[in-house]
Structure 1
Amino acid sequence: MTIRAISERLAVSWEAARQWTHRPKTGFPAAIGYERNERLWLWADVREWAINQGRWDPLVDLPTRRVLTAAARRIKVDVITMPASDWQADGLCKEYPDVDFFPERVKDAQPAREVCDRCLVQKECKAFALADAATRGVWGGFSFPEERDAARETQ
């Protein structure tokens, strides 16, 4: 996963994730390789580091982390907290922690879309994402921001 993916999964700003990965004193795990001139890390290593550092709570569900990520990007802070909306508690995505809802490419979003297709709050999720210009990832079966314009035209 890239720095951007780390920031989205941990609900921190891109700059905070970049600083962790570039400062040896943070104890951040070593990169496993490169793709398109970007360093890559294993999610399992990053997750373990984040839990040990108190920077990520595995008990916080994925919809809540998505809200935190979007908010962190908008206001450019390291870590924030905010309550989840009522519909987010019913999101099927929280039952699939291994599915990547923040894929690097739209073509890699199919597993997340399949989860969304079975979700009871898909409509609310999609509406929430369309209302927020900073949204990234798969929400309500759509990949944002790539498909945002197409979705707005059909509403």
Structure 2
Amino acid sequence: MSEGDAEGELAWQTDALCAQTDPEAFFPEKGGSTRDAKRVCEACPVSGKCLDYAMANDEKFGIWGGLSERERRRLRRRGR
């Protein structure tokens, strides 16, 4: 993939509400609360694209598209 393709693939990030908030909320310490991050995701216009990106790229950490890694693993097992 060329750099231009990568930029196009991530263009949705410019509309992501998380880009305007504290990034630490999306990468909580083990056992930390994900509630605030998920609340931002619920209102985000690109949360679906975010989740698609996380699933396609096997993101291991953080809240992506409103789901934690554990929730994304379950979704993957169900054959999303």
Fold match (TM-score > 0.5): yes
Task: Specify which structure has the bigger relative contact order, considering alpha-carbon pairs within 8 angstroms and separated by 6 or more residues.
Answer: 2
| Whole-angstrom distance in 2 between the partners of 1:108 and 1:131 | 25
Q: How does 1:18-57 map to 2 (within 5 A)?
A: none
Percent identity between the two aligned chains: 34
Larger Rg: 1
CA distance in 1: counterparts of 2:31 and 2:56, whole angstroms: 20
Structure with the largest fraction of strand: 1
Q: CA RMSD in A?
A: 2.2
Pick from 54, 57, 62 the counterpart of residue 132 of structure 1: 57
Deviation at 1:106, TM superposition (A): 5.4
The corresponding residue for 1:109 is: 34
Name the counterpart of 1:147. 71
Aligned length: 73
Distance in 1 of aligned mates of 2:31 and 2:79: 19
Distance 1:133 1:99, change over 3 A: closer
1:97 alignment partner in structure 2: 22
**Residue deviations 1:84-118, cap 9 Å, x none?**
71111100101112651101235511110000000
Q: Which runs of 5+ in 1 are unaligned?
A: 1-81
TM-score (norm 2): 0.75
User: Per-residue deviation at 1:135?
Assistant: 3.2
Higher helix share: 2
**TM-score, normalised with respect to structure 1:** 0.42
Cα distance change of structure 1 residues 87 and 106 upon mapping to structure 2, 3 Å threshold: farther
Q: Which runs of 4+ in 1 moved over 2 A?
A: none
